[in-house]
Structure 1
Amino acid sequence: MSPGTTVGVPRLSRDHLSRPRLLAALGDGELPLRVVRAPAGYGKTALLAEWARGRPDGSATVWVTADDECATRLGFWSRVVALLATVHPGLAGVEVGADAVGHLPTLLPPLLDAADRPLTLVVDAAERVDPRVEQDLLRLVRHTARLELAVGTRRDGELTDPATQLSLDAVTVGPRTLAFTADESARLASELRSPLTTEQVAALHETSDGWPLAVRAGLRPQREHPWPAAGENDQLSRLQRMLVGDLEQLPGFDDLVLLSVVDGVGVRQAELLGVDLDGHPILAAVEDRGLGGWEDGLGEPRFRLQPLVRDALRRRLDDDRLRDVHRRLVDWYEDRGERAAAFESAVIAQEWQRARTHLGQAFREVAGGLDKHWVRRADVPRPVLRAQPLLALFVGVAHYAVGDVAKAVRMLTAGVATAEWQRLSRHGRVSVDHVWIQGMLTLGLRFAGRDELVQPALRRLHGMLPRAADPTGELDHLRPLIVTQTASTHLLLDRVDDAVRALADRPAGTVRGSGALHPESLTVLAHASAGRVTLARAALAELVEPGLPRFFNAGFYAIPKHVGAAYVHLEDHRPDAAADALAQVLPHWPTMEWWPLVLHARTLQRWHADGPAEALRLLESGLDEKSRKPLGAAMRAMLTAQRAELLLAAGRPAEARRLIPSRRIRPYPRLAVAKARGLLLDGDHARALAITVAPEHEHRGTPRDRLHLSLIAASARLRSGDPAAAARAFADAVALSGDTGLRSPFAAMPRSDLRTLAAEHPALRADIGRFPALFPEPDALVSLTRRESAVLAELATSDTLPVIAGRLGVAAGTVKSQCRAVYRKLGVSGRDDAVAEARRRGLL
């Protein structure tokens, strides 16, 4: 037979989409075991077939699709041995009988090892075979070096057991990996010549979460499913009808609709709903179509529908029946201690007081256990929100979490809180509801970016807490939450020291799970942001991986920890480690309130790793992406100061100067640092010095701000001809650095000044020398426009001026004029000299 022989491998369909990332995940080298596990409809067979056809020359691949004839152990091995014998004559004489089948895993290895080429066995639909076959296959691949095994299956088993993966060099590809990416959905649409627009394809991908069956169905409109039908006005409705429409004709459809109220239902829970899952006629049909299937969980197995299918079925329940089902589920979840599920069922069942009770007693547990999109499925009437301020606060926060910022702000601030405050305050004493109403105001103003109103609202809230009448102890349960939200508010107001004090005064609580570590996570960020690196490092050491709850690092509560860790890693000259820390935050980027702090940290990391030009691009793209998000004055000042300093570092002082008028810097030490640095680099030493010694910055600035200002003062005094005063200012900075562990501000000094002033501190000079020079020398700074800076960056490439002009979208003559302006400002006469001079000055 010819090299690269394949036996029984299915042909690829005309509309097959090749996905190189999946082939790379399976690998093309020698590997004992590969498993592709997912429900029907995920493309397991197509992936394995493409991979099998790409096996290297000189190998042989045999494909077996399990069916009724080979479901038994004897039937399976009879077929496998017969097929293997077609590519390896040494197996031709092996007889498979009922008595000998159990010995085959021991008999076959020496025969397979005698093969003249590597063999690959692919078993598709492996969920149909006798479980003992999995044990046989594992014994076989463990004892032969000439056979590789690839398996496609719908269910977990011994082949997918973690112990198996550890004992063998194995690869498993699961549903998450098999799901289409947005780019793959777009490529498939192009290959299928789908009539959908680019926007519709993107919406299809998002609503289906890349589920291959749904994406393919949506991209290929069929004659029996015209779109739109009566009452359908969007692509999602049509897709759901395509998936579940013909299920209505099957017996037990009403039971399936009833089961859709639960995201994965076990046998006992189904009995509570009045459905017997044992041998239910419709479940097999649902599983065969890839619309759902059995999953092994921590407890009993659950039958889980695909989210799109579940949503389509759940819409067929009328409101009365839906509420009745959830009333029963509230009791079920309460008995099992599942607070989040009990809360959601109570909301849907309109059991408002029970929902309030769960929030009051386990706010964090409820918030952490809910799918963040639950609020879009809930309908809480306005009168209930007025009567239950804690519930209104929680619903408002939930809207913010899914990106409905305007709705959250309206809910928390518009009319509800004001009206209720006026009504309740007539009683002459503070109730728990007073506290939650004030909390609604504070959060709403924070979400809206109204910094000037947030601070008095927060002070009022804390003034109410000691006076609140709380007979049930509800506030005692939630005081840890109030502390963390207070600290979060202070951090978003850039009042870092206030955040540290709030966290230091937190009461000892009984919070469990990831929420219990939220204060520690905030503490890392607070200390790192302030520049107290030694304290941040100590706080970070308390959150080491082995002692953290499962998935803590991927969750919301870990965001401050990751941002703080990035700052610490940058102090250790490790921009790659900082990037790794921030990468764990990015899944939350679309909806997080922390985005200004995350953007600041990401930009700083990019500056240290790739220079100011790349960092400036990242900052500006992030601001453009979040342009519709409310941004408070403090966070705006923080990012404006960073942008101004990046413009200075990139050799664009004129633009930096326009960003920060002198009248704006008084309330914000970060702006004062950027302004003073710009004046220093411009040669205006007197004005730079005046800013650094202003008294308001001493008591409002963080140690980081004060260290920057001290170093700018030292440079200004040195360049003004007062070396003794410069040495004193530098000594103060060194002392502050020693107290805090903060080093990076020294890298922002002009290097010539650092060499002069740090002559008596060789260890410090060696440490700072490992940082990149963040700013050009003052005498090297030239005032380039934005366009001139872009042209200068292009000159560093090997492209010709016409190519550069095309990339910049201007005429070649315009680029030549800008080149002449750049040469004049740099004092050079040609392109190569301009690039060399720009590199010397730190502009490239």
Structure 2
Amino acid sequence: MLAVLDEAAAGQVTVVTAPAGYGKTLLLAEWAARRPEQTAWVSLDDDDSDDRRFWSAVLASLGSCAAVPAGNPLHALIVPGRPSRDPVFLAAVVDAIAALPGPVRLVLDDIHELTAPDPLHGLAALVRDRPAALHLVLSGRAEPPVPLGRMRLAGQLREIRADLLRFSVPEAAEMLVAADTPVSPDQLRLLVEQTEGWAAGLRLAALSLREVADPDRFLTDLVGNGRAVSDYLVGEILSRLPVGTRELLGAVSICSELSAPLAVALSGRADAGEVLDSLERETGLVLSMGEGRTWYRLHRLLRSHLRADLRRQRPDAMVRLYGRAADWFAAEGQPAAALTYARRGGAPDRVVRLLREHATTLIAAGEHELVRTALDWLGAPFRGDPWLALVAALVATEGGALAQADAHIARAVAAWPSDPAPELVALRGLVRSRRVIVAGDPDDTPGETGSQAAEELGLGPMAMLHRGIGSLGEGRPDEARDIVGSALGRARQQHHGYLAALGLTLLAVIAGMEGDYRRMTELAEAADAEPGNPAWPATIGAGWSSTMRAYGALLRADPAECLDLVAADETGPERSLPEYSDDLLVLRTALRGAALFDLGRTGEGLDGLRDAQLVAAGRPGSPEVTATVAVLVHRATTLLGRTDLARAALSRAENGLRGSGEVGYLRARHQAAIGRYRAASETLAPLLDGSVPFVLPWIQVEARVLECQLALRLERRPEARRALDDALSLTAAMDVLRPLASSPPEVIDLLTRHVGSFGAEEPTTARVLAARRTLGAQPVPLTDRERAVLSLLPTQRSFEEIAVDLTVSHSTVKTHVRAIYSKFGVSSRRDAVASARLHGILSSDA
């Protein structure tokens, strides 16, 4: 700020404007002290509205300035009876300043005290006709009533306002250190937030904090707990405002933000907008905001004081004001704000009416927590009302809390009227349909019931989403995509942020089913970023969008990001999380295990993948989730040499995915793992020519990688190169790097030796090799005999005893042990066991 003041050249005008307590005078005093010989200072008060007194003070200040030599006419000027109306006198002042040998700075502090017409006329003349040698500084709580617009346009005006004078968090920290008032970082942020950087508020709070026993409690209500702050607000700010203005501010203080029409409705004054605009311009106590700056807000501490005063002295008026605000917002088509103010006003009838009229629209817009809070606030009255009970069931369903939803549905049924209104019947149909979708039961479909119910309730986008889900379930993805795309457009037009995010998530699922995993990820990210959607993180839809993103990250060979996304429930901040359906829980568990495995934490990864199998056991699951779990588990167990577990995974796939390409792929992979390369190649053939379709499109890349590996093992190098080319092409098209990035060493060797010959797929090659470097250590390959020896190392048996148990020679056991040590990079039996446990080859209790 000192730099801003210094940058103003002689002949310019600087205006410093802010409410009381922002440090205007201290700033100017420090600036003046740096060049006192050039500075003339006048501290104005209400007496200076006398014209002669004002000009006498100005001349006296200039005369005492060292920059004004003894012979300058300023020392001899006589102040006439009405100096500001005397053009000869005003011209003499300007001429005398112009004759100075160097620049001079005239500071008029507290310019708001100058209110009489004559001195204001003289000040305007001085501003207009100021000589080049004069730097005029006008400081006050309101903008000086002199014409400044032309100077702004001409670049002749410098301005410092409250926004620049506000203390930042680091600046406030320095102030509190200087005041010997220690606070924690959280307390400091709260203090700056409460005061909005108001210097006087910070200083008064610092003094009070020294004396309070519980700083956290004190800071939660700075005005209510800090008498010094309230006294300052009253004595220095509110007491100086007209009574009518103070009453208007009290009325509008119930709203954190308000427009001029709302201010009119609250205060009953037709000129309320003009008053707010004037207060912003003249005092800085009110700030305009938003597009076109047509909305206003009061300074936080001032609003807190006014609300506390209203609550204490006129609680009945406060209730009426909340009701007026609720009615105004409802009439303006803003039911969320209307419901908020109705609840604050303690009016159950108004809250019930608003919920009956707008609850479904609010849920579509994403205001789930608002509706839930209102229902909880009503308490018992809503439990016997079937409409409100079904609204509660709908909110619970969208959050995945199906047990809660069922309890609310049961209450609605218990209170069901003998002649229900069509809207009530429609709401019941919508709740039941949404429950089927959220539960993810593949044996049940929402049918047309949910779509028709949503249409009857005025939720066109939700009706379209239900139709899209029906089309997808009937195997018409193109039709589903078109319907959901239209639903997305309508949801955005109607500002239904929640339904828009659901639409984006459903489009992401469709893209994944079609093998466009890049698009899947982009759509899921867009769902999570959809604006105006506060409820999204706590809904089942958000569970699916984050899972689609995690799935995409795993396929891009980015296991760290995948793990971050699926582990958010465990590591993220405390918040309300959805209760995942069976399919979603199985898929997230499997993705977490696969990500850990790819990061080299193979033991944890295998445990996670087996957990996914346990969760899925006995539950009907979608083919996509069943196939994903089967492929991920089989790959991990095969790489670890756990042929027993790999056979079990294959058996589950054969039972749950009969006739799918995944079953054939797993059979071929299993045959390859035991050295039956020709049989594996024959098993793989119908999958490669498209005779047997895959449930998961990305398994086509896995199949090509396996084809390449088998061709290399069978010394069919041209076939291996063709398979590699096909794998790269599919990798680029689907954005699926994982199969190639984690492929066997011989495939990677072929890839690296032919770098530079892949043409259009060369960038994909580079991505694959870069991704491989980020993956964790690959599992240690052990022979069956080495694994048998390893399984006995944790016991107390000697090598001789192990040899007897395995019916081999002592030297054979020692040979296997040396091989085990070499593969694990260790030199002792104990370290070999520890490393095997870390890699998941030995269980932790072995």
Q: Distance in 1 between matches of 2:51 and 2:226?
A: 38
Partner of 2:286: 293
Q: Cα distance, 1:115 vs. partner?
A: 8.4
Contact 2:471 / 2:480 at 8 angstroms: preserved in 1? yes
CA contact (8 A) 1:608 1:772 kept: no
- Contact persistence 1:657–1:675 (CA under 8 A): yes
CA distance in 2, matches of 1:70, 1:276: 34
- Equivalent positions of 1:2-13 (< 5 A) are none
- Please point out which of 394, 407, 418 is paired with 1:415: 407
Deviation for aligned residue 1:324: 3.5
Q: Does 1:693 align with 2:691?
A: no
State the match for 1:775 in structure 2.
772
Cα distance, 1:641–1:377 mapped onto 2, change above 3 Å: closer
Match of 2:833 in 1: none
CA separation of 1:594/1:304 partners in 2, compared to 1, >3 Å: closer, same or farther? farther
* Equivalent residue for 1:660, pick from 602, 609, 613: 609
CA distance in structure 1 between the partners assigned to 2:737 and 2:328 by the alignment:
56
Contact 1:520 1:539 in 2 (8 A): no
Q: CA deviation at 1:103?
A: 11
Q: Distance in 1 between matches of 2:495 and 2:317?
A: 35
Aligned to 1:262: 255
CA contact (8 A) 1:43 1:212 kept: yes
Contact 1:267 1:277 in 2 (8 A): no
1:761 aligns with 2:758: yes
Once the 2 structures are TM-superposed, how far is the Cα of residue 436 of structure 1 from its aligned partner? Answer: 3.7
Is the 1:442–1:454 Cα contact (8 Å) retained in structure 2? no
C-alpha separation in 1, matches of 2:254 and 2:417: 41
User: Could you say which residue in structure 2 is the equivalent of 1:221?
Assistant: 208
Structure 2 match to 1:554 = none
- Give the direction of change, closer, same or farther, for the CA distance of 1:374–1:417 in structure 2 (3 Å limit): closer
CA distance in 2 between partners of 1:351 and 1:764 (Å): 64
Q: Would the alpha carbon gap of residues 341 and 155 (structure 1) be closer, same or farther in structure 2, given more than 3 Å must change? A: farther
Aligned to 1:312: 308
Distance in 2 (alpha carbons) for counterparts of 1:823 and 1:80: 96
Match of 1:561 in 2: 526
Residues 304-348 of structure 1, C-alpha deviations (whole Å, 9 max, x = no match) = 352544653464477764443344445544555555444444554
Query: Equivalent residues in 2 for 1:483-522 (5 A)?
Result: 500=481, 503-504=484-485, 506=487, 509=490, 512=493, 514-515=495-496, 519=500, 522=503
Residue 775 of structure 1 aligns to a residue whose secondary structure is helix
Identity of aligned residues (%): 17
Distance 1:84 1:615 in 2: 75
Contact residue 711 and residue 746 of structure 1 kept, 8 A = no
Summarize deviations over 1:345-374 as a string: whole Å, max 9, x none. 455443246414652696489768x99799
Alignment partners' CA distance in 2, 1:606 and 1:28: 54
- Change in 2 beyond 3 A, CA 1:734/1:219: same
- Structure-1 residue corresponding to 2:424: 433
- When the two structures are superposed, what TM-score results if normalisation uses the length of structure 2? 0.55
Q: Following the alignment from structure 2 to structure 1, what is the Cα–Cα distance between the partners of residues 571 and 129?
A: 57
User: 2:502 and 2:539 mapped to 1: Cα distance?
Assistant: 16
* Letter matched to residue 298 of structure 2: R
Q: Given that residues 521 and 552 in structure 2 are in contact (C-alpha distance below 8 angstroms), is that contact kept between their aligned partners in structure 1? A: no
Q: Structure 1 residue 177: deviation in Å?
A: 10
2:623 aligned with 1:625, yes or no? Answer: no
Mapped to 2, the partners of 1:300 and 1:139 lie a distance apart of 32
CA contact under 8 A between 1:715 and 1:726: conserved in structure 2? yes
Q: Distance in 1 between matches of 2:415 and 2:635?
A: 53
Describe the superposition over 1:554-585 as per-residue Cα deviations: whole angstroms up to 9, x where unpaired. xxxx99427689xxxxxxxxxxxxxxxxxx99
The equivalences for 1:186-205 within 5 A come to 192-194=179-181
Q: How do 1:517-532 and structure 2 match up within 5 A?
A: 519=500, 522-523=503-504, 526-527=507-508, 530=511
Pairwise CA RMSD? 7.6
Compared with structure 1, are the counterparts of its residues 66 and 413 closer, same or farther at alpha carbon in structure 2 (3 Å cutoff)? farther
CA distance in 1, matches of 2:705, 2:256: 59
CA displacement, residues 787-814 of structure 1 (integer Å, 9 cap, x when unaligned): xxxxxxxxxxxxxxxxxxxxxxxxxxxx
- Given that 2:432 and 2:450 are in contact with CA atoms closer than 8 Å, whether structure 1 keeps it comes out as no
Q: Distance in 2 between matches of 1:48 and 1:771?
A: 63
Q: How far apart in 1 are the matches of 2:821 and 2:16? A: 58
Q: Give SS of 1:661's match.
A: helix
Tell me if the contact between 1:421 and 1:437 (Cα under 8 Å) persists in the aligned partners: no
* 1:420 Cα offset (Å): 0.3
Contact 1:743 1:768 in 2 (8 A): no
Residue aligning to 1:752: 749
> Counterpart amino acid of 1:262?
C
1:764 CA drift (Å): 0.7
State the SS of the aligned residue for 2:378: coil
What amino acid does structure 1 have at the position aligned with 2:601? R
1:455 to 432, 435, 440: 440
- Aligned pair count reads 696
TM-aligned CA distance change 1:222 to 1:453, over 3 Å: closer
Superposition map of 1:132-531 within 5 A: 178=166, 180-181=168-169, 192-194=179-181, 217-221=204-208, 236-237=220-221, 239-242=223-226, 246=231, 257-264=250-257, 269-270=262-263, 272-273=265-266, 292-293=285-286, 295=288, 298=292, 302=296, 304=298, 306=300, 308-309=304-305, 312-313=308-309, 315-316=311-312, 321-333=317-329, 336-347=332-343, 348=345, 349=347, 350-352=349-351, 354-356=353-355, 358-359=357-358, 363=362, 379-384=377-382, 386-387=384-385, 389=387, 393=391, 413=405, 415-424=407-416, 431-436=422-427, 454-456=439-441, 463-465=448-450, 468=453, 475-476=457-458, 478-481=459-462, 500=481, 503-504=484-485, 506=487, 509=490, 512=493, 514-515=495-496, 519=500, 522-523=503-504, 526-527=507-508, 530=511
Q: Which moved more, 1:761-770 or 1:284-293?
A: 284-293
Partner Cα distance (2:50, 2:467) in 1 = 64
Task: For residue 604 of structure 2, give the secondary structure of its aligned residue in structure 1.
Answer: helix
- Kept in 1, the 8 Å contact 2:725–2:758? The answer is no
By how many angstroms is 1:467 displaced?
5.7
Would the alpha carbon gap of residues 207 and 151 (structure 1) be closer, same or farther in structure 2, given more than 3 Å must change? Answer: closer
Deviation (angstroms), 1:775: 2.9
CA distance in 2 between counterparts of 1:458 and 1:39 reads 67
Alignment partner of 2:254: what SS?
Answer: coil
In the aligned structure 1, how far is the partner of 2:402 from the partner of 2:50? 63
Distance 2:155 2:327 in 1: 44
Q: Distance in 1 between matches of 2:266 and 2:333?
A: 19
In 1, are the aligned partners of 2:382 and 2:388 still within 8 Å (CA)?
no
- Equivalent position amino acid for 2:224 in 1: Q
User: Relative to structure 1, is the Cα distance of residues 283 and 486 closer, same or farther in structure 2, using a 3 angstrom cutoff?
Assistant: same
Q: Which ranges of structure 1 fall in alignment gaps of 5 or more residues?
A: 1-5, 10-22, 446-450, 541-557, 566-583, 785-820, 829-844
User: Per the alignment, do residues 528 and 601 of structure 1 end up closer, same or farther by CA in structure 2, a change over 3 Å counting?
Assistant: closer
- CA distance, structure 1, for counterparts of residue 539 and residue 25 of structure 2: 39
Is this contact kept in 2: 1:292–1:305, CA < 8 A?
yes
1:20 maps to none
Instruction: Return the alpha-carbon distance in structure 2 between the equivalents of residues 772 and 72 of structure 1.
Output: 84
Alpha-carbon spacing, 1:415–1:129, altered in 2? closer, same or farther (3 Å): farther
Contact 2:589 2:608 in 1 (8 A): yes
Pair 505,126 (structure 1): closer, same or farther in 2 beyond 3 Å: same
The CA distance in 1 between the partners of 2:417 and 2:221, in whole Å, is: 48
1:479 CA drift (Å): 2.4
Matches within 5 A, 1:686-765: 693-694=662-663, 703=697, 705-706=698-699, 709-710=702-703, 713-714=706-707, 717=710, 721=714, 733=727, 736-737=730-731, 740=734, 742=735, 744-745=737-738, 748-750=741-743, 751-752=748-749, 754-755=751-752, 761-765=758-762
Superposition deviation, residue 506 in structure 1: 2.7
